[in-house]
Structure 1
């Protein structure tokens, strides 16, 4: 066993750094690595800009929807939603003013096919404004996206989008 240990020590001591042997290869490798890093940064930057431009934040959190003709105050509680109005006019911009009375909730609006169309956070002491224009009549659901306790799965309410 001592002979094997001595063999490992001998190999370790004799295989020390050989800076002179690798200097040319190292310089070439580092140059290639720097160029590759620059190309990756540019590619990822373009990919980031391309994918983020389609996010709905500008359209739902700004004046991009147009002047608001309806305002719905929304308050989240454990474990229910309270809306100031359950009727919204189709093709008219609406602003949801969303807050919470107790804990954080995820305010999400689902269309008639149960596809999420808009969402924001409901936080105690803060009002988030969510703007949206509904283009189809029907019954829409509001569901909580953030786990808020034992009855989180029951935190569902509905509102109707109707003609004026």
Structure 2
């Protein structure tokens, strides 16, 4: 609109002319913005993380079932092997949070009835990992935990 105002210095223009000039300026700004967005997208594509993703056929799947107030999961999983936990629930929503031997949260996903979430984890440190429910699921929620060994 500044360009429209500057182009009419010293002489008042009819409203129809001002509107026409304003819409013409708006079209140019939209084109410039569109080109800028396309350029920004094209320049940033090489840094997207998706190209680095690899399809691994050697991953091992382990079924995990959450129910009030326990987890059914394998007693041990191998280290330095891609692991996929296939997580579901039998009753209500639960959180499936994996904590390393130092107590740091490594990964988490929701466990939901009638749906399987796939959680991919690469364990590099052997030891006892603790699984805790991260979604309030009832009166004994605070005691809902289990563990497994990474060997």
Smaller-chain TM-score range? 0.5 to 0.7
Note if contact 2:59-2:81 (Cα within 8 Å) is conserved in structure 1: no
- TM-score, reference length from structure 2: 0.65
What is the CA–CA distance in structure 2 between the aligned matches of 1:51 and 1:110, rounded to whole Å?
29
Q: Which runs of 5+ in 2 are unaligned?
A: 1-13
Structure 2 residue 28 is matched with structure 1 residue 31 = yes
Note if contact 2:99-2:106 (Cα within 8 Å) is conserved in structure 1: yes
Note if contact 1:65-1:133 (Cα within 8 Å) is conserved in structure 2: no
Q: Which runs of 5+ in 1 are unaligned?
A: 1-16
Structure 2 residue 75 is matched with structure 1 residue 78 = no
Structure 1 counterpart SS, 2:17? helix
- The aligned counterpart of 1:64 is 56
Change in Cα spacing, 1:100 to 1:48, as seen in structure 2 (3 Å) is farther
- TM-score, reference length from structure 1: 0.61
- The aligned counterpart of 1:43 is 40
Structure 2 counterpart SS, 1:98? strand
Note if contact 2:90-2:113 (Cα within 8 Å) is conserved in structure 1: yes
Aligned-residue Cα RMSD (Å) equals 3.4
What is the CA–CA distance in structure 2 between the aligned matches of 1:96 and 1:48, rounded to whole Å?
31
Runs of 4+ in structure 1 deviating by more than 6 angstroms, as ranges, are none
- The aligned counterpart of 2:112 is 123
Alignment coverage as a number of residue pairs? 138
**How far 1:144 sits from its partner (Å)?**
2.7
Question: What is the correspondence of 1:11-22 to structure 2 with a 5 Å cutoff?
Answer: 18-22=15-19
Note if contact 2:59-2:84 (Cα within 8 Å) is conserved in structure 1: no
What is the CA–CA distance in structure 2 between the aligned matches of 1:32 and 1:137, rounded to whole Å?
58
Note if contact 2:65-2:89 (Cα within 8 Å) is conserved in structure 1: yes
Structure 2 counterpart SS, 1:158? strand
Change in Cα spacing, 1:51 to 1:29, as seen in structure 2 (3 Å) is same
